[in-house]
Amino acid sequence: MSDSQKDELMQKPISRREMLKLGAAGGVGLLLGAGGITGVLAGSGMINTAKSTTAQTNEEVVPFYGKHQQGIITPAQDFICLGAFDLTTSSREDVRKLFQKWTQAAAELSTGAGVGEESNNPNLPPVDTGEAMGLAATGITITFGVGPSLFDDRFGLAGKRPAALTDLPPFGGDELLPQWSGGDIAVQVCANDPQVAFHALRNLTRIARGKAVLRWVQDGFQRTRTADPSGSTPRNLLGFKDGTNNPNVQDADLANEVVWVQPDDGAGWLADGSFMIVRRIRMRIEVWDRTPLNEQEATFGRHRVSGAPLGETDEFATLDVEKKDEQGQPQIPVNSHVALAHMGGKVKIHRRGYSYSSGIDAKTGQLDAGLLFICFNRDPRKQFIPMQKALAGQDKLNEYIVHVGSAIFACLPGVQAGGYIGETLF
Amino acid sequence: MSDSQKDELMQKPISRREMLKLGAAGGVGLLLGAGGITGVLAGSGMINTAKSTTAQTNEEVVPFYGKHQQGIITPAQDFICLGAFDLTTSSREDVRKLFQKWTQAAAELSTGAGVGEESNNPNLPPVDTGEAMGLAATGITITFGVGPSLFDDRFGLAGKRPAALTDLPPFGGDELLPQWSGGDIAVQVCANDPQVAFHALRNLTRIARGKAVLRWVQDGFQRTRTADPSGSTPRNLLGFKDGTNNPNVQDADLANEVVWVQPDDGAGWLADGSFMIVRRIRMRIEVWDRTPLNEQEATFGRHRVSGAPLGETDEFATLDVEKKDEQGQPQIPVNSHVALAHMGGKVKIHRRGYSYSSGIDAKTGQLDAGLLFICFNRDPRKQFIPMQKALAGQDKLNEYIVHVGSAIFACLPGVQAGGYIGETLF
């Protein structure tokens, strides 16, 4: 297979049909039955052969290269493994090299392969850690972002800090812990398999050795397609559907309005990137579970079973916060979560969160579980921050949740094959 | 549907065909297309209707009632949520009532339903917490065990403590933490969906309110069927296949020999039960990842890629610890993990463990990930304990792992419909 064919392979969504064409053009042995895409890639020498010795399924492969990074408007996979890193180097060149290596590894991992090429020299550690050998790509995406602290005085990047990459202000009710907050760099790995996601973050961490260390890691999940092949709106751990009213970011115009930094937004190096906000929101599950159904529904502003706005029966019924009931009262309480988050229909964010379950809180014996809130937005000063201010002040939900972690990152633009994530910055 | 039909439903594996027959016999509306099994159960009034409003898939339902508890020889599902409880009551009658309620709830949860029947009274909290609404059963199993501490002086049960329910002796290298060890009761939930598993443990915890509280909870995973539909041997987080040489406990004779407590083993109330050992084994992943391939393979005694015993090519090749290489040296090092665990072929345990990933260790910044080791055996004094003694003393793997949690539980016998888990004890 020629380099240009390899490049093409990495840039576009790949169908089995296209693989066949590529294989035929390049004279690669066609063993798609057992080996699927990975078999062909292995035949091409692109992938360590260890990976290809086991029969694979051709699960969805999300293209790594492109105008935007993957994992932002990609429909949410079932699992996340999110790591925040602190840089231990003070050399900008080191950081640049790290992103180059990470880009190469992420492109490989995105195809379902391991990282690098195994030397098969028994006196060396394996290049890839191996726990994803034999597993399909399962739609894995890897997304890189940089935090405000990258623009301090260590790397000479202060002048490039986007105004919108602001430190998040304190919000009422925040109980933030440093061990769940901040970070110079974020690496978001999502996949339909937790071991595939873990494997990717672990190998990227290993590649960063000597340059960056993990600051925090949080795993998360949504319901699997095994449990819900129809892919209906997932429920959060309070039992309510979560994400019904998410803007349809598959609409390119809407994505440009809500998600993607535009060339004239300032900080041109970030054009086609996006701002990611992460909040680790612990749910007071034991308190919620003692709350009457009508209180729960008034808290969210939606019905529990159907997910419909209060007074409606269809989950996707228009959210009309002005509507009055027979007594002339708002059908949806003004301090409900959906009424406040609605922001008059003028402010939108693209949410892409996961539930988390991290055992119990040793101090209280209560479940340490909740929502790993993640959203992407074009300008947090106009989107996430005003929305969160409105919620933090009045949201009925605040009685049942507490924000214990917080971070903001500028997710870099996508790159074409041959380039590297961060090339417009470093 | 008559009670006897309901009972039949809970006791046996259920096929769609059988559901149709049952439905027809009982005059239940047949809406299997959209509702699947849960639809029919809802029509029968057995399941809260909230649960049945969403289209379901009829994923595998493992029968709850039977001679043995589910989740012991059931082929391992993809996810686990394991909780250990401490009793806060000192009344044996309270404990008995708790197990009665738990049995009823577990039988419901095993069908993919929520717990109890919703009153739909908006002034009351929902009976089921709701986050598994619309999700299929995904092969969920719930397994109950009791620890040595249940037989102290609180409940008048000291005379019933099985001799084999011994406190585990200290093993060399143990670094056990109380927050990951012990417990009066264990509840093991396994399912092919993490939200389904979490939901079950949470609702069982809620039912225990006032009688028992969580002592520790650990989630775990194996690769999903999405990533590996062929169901090959899963790999642990050190990249090696784990479980190749597990005894085939689907063979009833072997299961009686290895897993199930026999009537003449002493403590007759535990006949048809089993002993569960849980060890939270943290892996020193960062050290392992710097270790040469030949060292890694000598540590396990198996090849990394194929999983075959050293010197062989087939994963399932007979493990011959006597075999010598051309230099007359053992082909499999005598201090390798498999050579030591082999125990001359005379001692077997049934392993049913999961990987875990719990973020990072705040003290060291290293990954807090590893193996939630779980095994079932008929008599730990003759099986797990001697094997672990052999491993703790010499196992090359000890350089890369540390046992931080430990517990032993007697898993109660199964029950028939109308009975309750623990009825032979309380």
In DSSP notation, A41-70 reads HHHTTSS-HHHHTS-----------SSS-T
Does the pLDDT value for residue B103 go beyond 80? yes
Q: What percent of chain A has pLDDT over 90?
A: 82
Cα B280 from chain centroid?
13
Q: How far apart are CA B141 and CA B130, in angstroms?
A: 18
225-284 in B: which are within 8 Å (CB) of A? 225-230, 232, 234-240
Considering only CB atoms, B126 lies closest to which of A55, A285, A304, namely A304
Interchain contact, A223 vs B192, CB within 8 Å: no
Does the pLDDT value for residue A171 go beyond 80? yes
Predicted confidence band of residue A204 (pLDDT cuts 50, 70, 90): very high
Interface check for A125 against chain B (CB to CB < 8 A): the answer is yes
Interface check for B179 against chain A (CB to CB < 8 A): the answer is yes
Region B82-94: what's the mean pLDDT?
98
Residues of B in contact with A207 (CB under 8 A): none
Predicted confidence band of residue B42 (pLDDT cuts 50, 70, 90): very low
Q: How far apart are CA A182 and CA A147, in angstroms?
A: 7
Considering only CB atoms, A131 lies closest to which of B57, B237, B296, namely B237
Q: Which of B215, B195, B217, B214 is nearest to B205 (CA)?
A: B214
Q: How far apart are CA B222 and CA B302, in angstroms?
A: 20
Arithmetic mean of pLDDT over chain B: 88
Interface check for B204 against chain A (CB to CB < 8 A): the answer is no
Does the pLDDT value for residue A243 go beyond 60? yes
Count CB neighbours of B123 within 10 A. 9
Interchain contact, A53 vs B239, CB within 8 Å: no
Interchain contact, B224 vs A290, CB within 8 Å: no
Predicted confidence band of residue B108 (pLDDT cuts 50, 70, 90): very high
Interface check for B218 against chain A (CB to CB < 8 A): the answer is yes
Region A58-87: what's the mean pLDDT?
94
133-152 in A: which are within 8 Å (CB) of B? 133-136, 138
Question: Which three-class secondary structure state does DSSP give residue A6?
Answer: helix
Pairing relationship of beta strands B354-360 and B79-87 according to DSSP bridges? unpaired
Residues of B in contact with A200 (CB under 8 A): none
Q: How far apart are CA B218 and CA B374, in angstroms?
A: 12
Cβ burial, residue B369 (10 Å; 0-12/13-18/19+) = buried
Element (H, E) at A19: helix A16-26
* R_g (Cα) of chain B, nearest Å: 22
Count CB neighbours of B329 within 10 A. 10
DSSP conformation class of A158? G
Nearest CA in chain A to B48: A305
Count CB neighbours of A178 within 10 A. 10
CB B212 within 8 A of CB B87: yes
Q: How far apart are CA A192 and CA A137, in angstroms?
A: 8
* Long-range Cβ contacts of B157-162 (<8 Å, 24+ apart): B157/B92, B157/B425, B160/B267, B160/B269, B160/B425, B161/B267, B162/B261, B162/B265, B162/B266, B162/B267, B162/B270, B162/B410
Predicted confidence band of residue A59 (pLDDT cuts 50, 70, 90): low
Cβ burial, residue A170 (10 Å; 0-12/13-18/19+) = exposed
Nearest CA in chain A to B85: A365
Least confident of A231-235, A422-426, B361-365: B361-365
Predicted confidence band of residue A120 (pLDDT cuts 50, 70, 90): confident
DSSP conformation class of A99? H
Interchain contact, A226 vs B222, CB within 8 Å: no
Residues 6 or more apart from A50 whose CB is under 8 A from it? A114, A118, A126, A128, A130, A133, B304, B305
Angle at B305 between CA B303 and CA B310, to 5 degrees: 15
Q: How far apart are CA B46 and CA B32, in angstroms?
A: 16
pTM of the entire predicted model: 0.88
Least confident of A38-52, A367-381, B59-73: A38-52
Cβ burial, residue A419 (10 Å; 0-12/13-18/19+) = middle
Residues 6 or more apart from B119 whose CB is under 8 A from it? B127
Considering only CB atoms, A55 lies closest to which of B226, B230, B294, namely B230
Nearest CA in chain B to A297: B122
Best of A38, A129, A226, A400 to disrupt the B interface (most B CBs within 10 Å) is A226
Does the pLDDT value for residue A284 go beyond 90? yes
Residues of B in contact with A358 (CB under 8 A): 219, 358-359
Q: How far apart are CA A72 and CA A261, in angstroms?
A: 12
For residues B50 and B217, which has the higher predicted lDDT (pLDDT)? B217
Q: Which amino acid is at A31?
A: L
Residues of A in contact with B194 (CB under 8 A): 194, 221, 224, 357
Residues of A in contact with B221 (CB under 8 A): 194-195
Considering only CB atoms, B358 lies closest to which of A221, A285, A358, namely A358
Interchain contact, A292 vs B122, CB within 8 Å: yes
Residues of A in contact with B217 (CB under 8 A): 357, 359-360, 367
Does the pLDDT value for residue B349 go beyond 50? yes
Region A109-115: what's the mean pLDDT?
96
Q: What distance in Å separates residue B365's CA from the closest CA in chain A?
A: 6
Considering only CB atoms, B136 lies closest to which of A131, A227, A357, namely A227
Count of alpha carbons within 13 angstroms of residue A348, beta-carbon side:
16
Region A284-289: what's the mean pLDDT?
96
Element (H, E) at A254: helix A252-258
Q: Which amino acid is at A253?
A: D
Best of A305, A354, A371, A404 to disrupt the B interface (most B CBs within 10 Å) is A305
Element (H, E) at A86: strand A79-87
Interface check for A302 against chain B (CB to CB < 8 A): the answer is no
For residues A17 and B345, which has the higher predicted lDDT (pLDDT)? B345
Does the pLDDT value for residue A1 go beyond 50? no
* Backbone dihedral angles phi then psi of residue A150, each to the nearest 5 degrees: -65, -20
Does the pLDDT value for residue A98 go beyond 70? yes
Q: What distance in Å separates residue B418's CA from the closest CA in chain A?
A: 28
Angle at A133 between CA A131 and CA A135, to 5 degrees: 100
Region B350-375: what's the mean pLDDT?
95
26-55 in A: which are within 8 Å (CB) of B? 50, 53-55
Interface check for B308 against chain A (CB to CB < 8 A): the answer is no
* Per-residue confidence (pLDDT) for residue A224, from 0 to 100: 92
Total beta-carbon pairs less than 8 A apart between chain A and chain B: 237
Interchain contact, B202 vs A367, CB within 8 Å: yes
Residues of B in contact with A362 (CB under 8 A): 179
Phi-psi region of A36 (alpha: psi -120 to 50; beta: other; left: phi over 0): left
Counting every residue, how long is chain B?
426
181-200 in B: which are within 8 Å (CB) of A? 192-196, 198
Q: What is the ipTM of this complex?
A: 0.88
Three-class secondary structure assignment of chain B: CCHHHHHHHHHCCCCHHHHHHHHHHHCCCCCHHHHHHHHHHHHCCCCCHHHHCCCCCCCCCCCCCCCCCCCCCCCCCCEEEEEEEEECCCCHHHHHHHHHHHHHHHHHHHCCCCCCCCCCCCCCCCCCCCCCCCCCCCCCEEEEEECHHHHCCCCCCHHHCCCCCCCCCCCCCCCCCHHHCCCCEEEEEEECCHHHHHHHHHHHHHHCCCCEEEEEEEEEECCCCCCCCCCCCCECCCCCECCCCCCCCCCHHHHHHHCCCCHHHCCHHHCCCEEEEEEEEEECHHHHCCCCHHHHHHHHCECCCCCCECCCCCCCCCCCCCCECCCCCECCCCCCHHHHHHHHHCCCCEECCEEEEEEECCCCCCEEEEEEEEEEECCCCCCHHHHHHHHHHHCHHHHCEEEEEEEEEEECCCCCCCCCCCCCCC
Does the pLDDT value for residue A364 go beyond 50? yes
Tokens of B200: 């079950």
Residues of A in contact with B179 (CB under 8 A): 362
Residue B87, strand partner residues? B212
Count of alpha carbons within 13 angstroms of residue B364, beta-carbon side:
10
Interchain contact, B130 vs A224, CB within 8 Å: no
Region B71-80: what's the mean pLDDT?
96
* Per-residue confidence (pLDDT) for residue A22, from 0 to 100: 35
* Per-residue confidence (pLDDT) for residue A237, from 0 to 100: 98
Q: E strands, A150-271, where?
A: 185-191, 212-221
Predicted confidence band of residue B59 (pLDDT cuts 50, 70, 90): low
Tokens of B72: 């012991």
Interchain contact, A179 vs B224, CB within 8 Å: no
Interface check for B311 against chain A (CB to CB < 8 A): the answer is no
